[in-house]
Structure 1
Amino acid sequence: MKLQVKLNGQNQALDASPDASLAEVLRSLHLFSIKKSGQNGSGSSCTILLNGKPVPGDIIPIAVLKNANIVTLEHFMQTEDYKDIKEGFEQEGINLCGYCNAGKIFTAWDIIQTYKRPTAEEIEAAVSGMSFCCTNKKAYITGIRRAILLRTKRIGNMRNGRR
């Protein structure tokens, strides 16, 4: 099956079996931030952004991806939004294990995009199904709130002509 998608900001033709998972196809393209989780979508190691929302790439068949916008962690790590999240996490002493990076980072980004000023309770609800093996849940929530402040400051500075 052949189909067109936007992958990491570039038009890309995908050619694979219709039942191949997005994770398999991305790994065949040497995009290794998406891990083989084997958890049928329940782990966060296979998370990508699909049309602006974090989803588990290991349960998405490519047959449903015509004209989809796909962003992997490799690409997202080059953005200013990533830098805000990374700094917010660092301020809280969060060091992700490498296995769950995509899930934790894309979930933080989704929260930041969804809420202008989320409360701790809203963030708590948004992360309620996540596993916190490599980091403390409270620190993660505070790290997201710090990232929001950093992003707000950065955007305010850009609007005022400062970098």
Structure 2
Amino acid sequence: MTPTIQTADLHLEPGCNSASCILALDLGTTTGWALRSHDGLITSGTTSFRPGRFDGGGMRYLRFTNWLTEIDRLSGPIAAIWFEEVRRHVGTDAAHVYGGLMATLTAWAELRGIPYEGVPVGTIKRHATGKGNADKVAMIAAARARGFSPTDDNEADAIAILHWAIETNGGVA
């Protein structure tokens, strides 16, 4: 059973230094991430889980596990994780990678008792741009309008997920 995400401390009040550390992810070979730390500071970026030439099939998932553990160690403890919930992929390989990363993420979070939840793509896009079918350019523009400089659409999507989680109290508002 998935732990329930407690949303009482998701909004950072002015002058407050005790926000929960929350992580938002756009899962893929190039994973976009955005993190709100305990002091309310939001950082974001991308990280690649592309396998090397001599890597076995599971190495990207081991690297992802290590990356999550390092984020939790350096910036955590992570109180909750939201990720983009993709229901349809253009290619089979992308679907397999997404499924493997999602399985790795959910197992990692379950072992640590960290609640997690997927957010539908349309919900994220609608919240960020007003259009549930916004393209990559529009998502990047929405992140820039919030004062961020995303390197690509993966980072822009993660920023949008994080802002959705904060502003809607994880969809409860």
Task: Give the shorter-chain TM-score range.
Answer: under 0.3
State the structure with bigger RCO (CA 8 A, min sep 6), 1 or 2: 2
Return the TM-score normalized by structure 2.
Answer: 0.26
| Larger of the two Rg values belongs to structure | 1
